[in-house]
Amino acid sequence: MQLTLSPEQEALRKLAREFAEREVKPRAEAIDHTGEFPKDLVQKAADLGLLGILVPEEYGGAGLDHISFAIFVEEVARFCASTSVILDVHASVGTEPIVLFGSQDQRRRWLVDLAQGKKLAAFALTEPEAGSDAANLTSTAIRRNGGYLLNGTKIFISNAGEAGLYVIFATTRPGSGATGITAFLVGGDNPGLKVGPKFKKMGLNGSAIAEVYLENCVVDEADRLGQEGDGFRIAMRALDSGRIGISAQAVGLAQGALNDAVAYARERKQFGRPIAELQTIQNKLADMAVKIRAARWMTWKAAALCDAGQPFTREASMAKLFATDAAMDITLDALQVFGGYGYLEEYPMARRVRDAKACQIYEGTNQIQRMVIARELVRV
Ligand code: COS
């Protein structure tokens, strides 16, 4: 793994940083307060070619690597985690399964629209009774008239109601666990797919998260992704690189918090001098910077292995675990540097704490990441 970015990755960082500073930063506070889904920012990201960052050029994407993807997510998350998770879910778990497992026909039918932002993507695995234990999902896909009839309920689905494509996981062999799970590509306009009201959440207020109901949802055989029984493997592979995105999001949240804490500490005077001169504040800032550096490199390491076609499940879980726990600590510490002001909603510190908490939970709780890491360690 190279420890410097390539000219292409640097160029991508410049583009993503300009987008984040010019478009995302001024909107972040309002998005959090109103809970508005930032459709316009999604479109602007699409116009810059950022939605199809992992889509090959032949399908209208940018065809970039996972380090570039991580940089993009990080840059946006420095200012607005809601926007970054919308873009991250779309680009990784929503779109990548088609890049990796789609037929030529499926790639042609979906990827161009997904890369150009004509459709947003969602990933629907979790169910009310099957969260961490994803293999135990009970949504069914029963063969009917040359296609499938899908029934069941999905929960905590990011981009629900906004997406034009849902990657849906259901069992074609009820009761047979992981081996019965099959993946389907279901259009947002399918009359058998309904979306519940947006959840009111602790944070990530601009991101639409809701239940998705499959009610006699008719899906053609041509919209089955992979073979019957391939679904669990597809979901796990999608989550492996999804976790790179969540790690990058955590790095961005933490970097944004550190940048603000440094600026504030230099300007805020107590005891006749800037608090940045106090060792107690300096220690906090230094610890934050070290954790961010480690988290970013762990994220890029997982991304580099993924790009090299090597196993990266463990590294993605390690990065997700470390980066999201670090983001939680760092956003809290940065808030503390702001003292009483940090507790006010007119500063971005409280929002970052609220948003960081989600990173320890979604795309596999950090308890599940430990399980994935430990299983590899003790495997006999
Ligand atoms: N990539 C490819 N295949 C994988 C895989 C991965 N990362 N992880 C597991 N598999 C395969 C296994 O190889 C196994 O196939 P074989 O029997 O052919 O070997 C199959 O999938 C079942 O795997 P396993 O026995 O490990 O499944 P478990 O039910 O024990 O669960 C965990 C595995 C806990 C890791 C999984 O359920 C998980 O990640 N849960 C969290 C789900 C999650 O992140 N949800 C968030 C959704 S987005 S908000």
pLDDT in tens, 255-289: 999 999 999 999 999 999 999 999 999 999 999 99
Whole-number Cα distances in Å, 13 to 18, 64, 68, 78: 8, 12, 7, 13
- Does the pLDDT of residue 332 top 90, yes or no? yes
Over residues 95-105, mean pLDDT? 98
Q: From ligand 1's centre to the CA of 134, what distance in Å? A: 8
Whole-number Cα distances in Å, 202 to 82, 215, 296, 351: 12, 29, 26, 9
Please, are residues 58 and 29 in contact by the beta-carbon 8 Å criterion?
no
What pLDDT does residue 379 have?
86
Arithmetic mean of pLDDT over the chain: 97
Over residues 58-62, mean pLDDT? 97
Q: What is the pLDDT of residues 221-246, one digit of tens each?
A: 999 999 999 999 999 999 999 999 99
Helix (H) or strand (E) holding 225: strand 224-225
Over residues 337-358, mean pLDDT? 97
96 lines ligand 1 (CB under 6 A): no
What pLDDT does residue 380 have?
64
Res. 375 pLDDT band, cuts 50 70 90: very high
Please, are residues 322 and 296 in contact by the beta-carbon 8 Å criterion?
no
DSSP 161: T
Percent of the chain with pLDDT over 70: 99
Please, are residues 249 and 197 in contact by the beta-carbon 8 Å criterion?
no
312 lines ligand 1 (CB under 6 A): no
150 lines ligand 1 (CB under 6 A): no
- Does the pLDDT of residue 1 top 80, yes or no? no
Whole-model pTM? 0.97
Over residues 328-348, mean pLDDT? 97
Q: From ligand 1's centre to the CA of 67, what distance in Å? A: 24
On the 0-12 / 13-18 / 19+ scale of CB atoms within 10 A, 1 is: exposed
**Cα 101 off chain centre by:** 20
Please, are residues 185 and 98 in contact by the beta-carbon 8 Å criterion?
yes
Helices (H), the chain: 7-19, 28-34, 39-47, 66-77, 81-89, 96-101, 104-106, 112-116, 231-267, 279-307, 313-337, 348-359, 366-378
Shortest-distance atom of ligand 1 to CA 375: 26
Q: Which of 96, 162, 315, 363 is catalytic?
A: 363
HEC states along 135-159? HHCCCEEEEECCEEEEEEEEEEEEC
Cα–Cα distance, 369 to 346 (Å, whole number): 34
- Does the pLDDT of residue 182 top 70, yes or no? yes
What pLDDT does residue 3 have?
77
Neighbouring residues of 255: CB distance < 8 A, sequence distance ≥ 6: 74, 78, 292
On the 0-12 / 13-18 / 19+ scale of CB atoms within 10 A, 351 is: buried
Q: From ligand 1's centre to the CA of 376, what distance in Å? A: 12
Q: From ligand 1's centre to the CA of 237, what distance in Å? A: 9
Angle between helices 313-337 and 279-307 (to 10 degrees): 160
Q: In 268-287, which positions are buried (b, 16+ CB within 10 angstroms) versus exposed (e)?
A: eeeeeeebbeeeebeebbee
125 lines ligand 1 (CB under 6 A): yes
Over residues 332-352, mean pLDDT? 97
The residue behind tokens 């006749």 is 272
Residue 194's φ and ψ, nearest 5 degrees, are: -125, 155
- Does the pLDDT of residue 108 top 70, yes or no? yes
**In a mutational test of the pocket of ligand 1, which residue from 89, 136, 233, 240 has the highest number of ligand atoms less than 8 Å from its CB?**
233
Cα–Cα distance, 272 to 43 (Å, whole number): 48
Res. 140 pLDDT band, cuts 50 70 90: very high
Over residues 42-66, mean pLDDT? 97
**The two structure tokens encoding residue 144:** 């009917």
Residues in the chain: 380
239 lines ligand 1 (CB under 6 A): yes
Percent of the chain with pLDDT over 90: 98
For the question of residue 363 being annotated catalytic, the response is: yes
What pLDDT does residue 378 have?
94
Dihedral angle over CA of 120, 123, 129, 134, nearest 10: -170
Cα–Cα distance, 248 to 301 (Å, whole number): 12
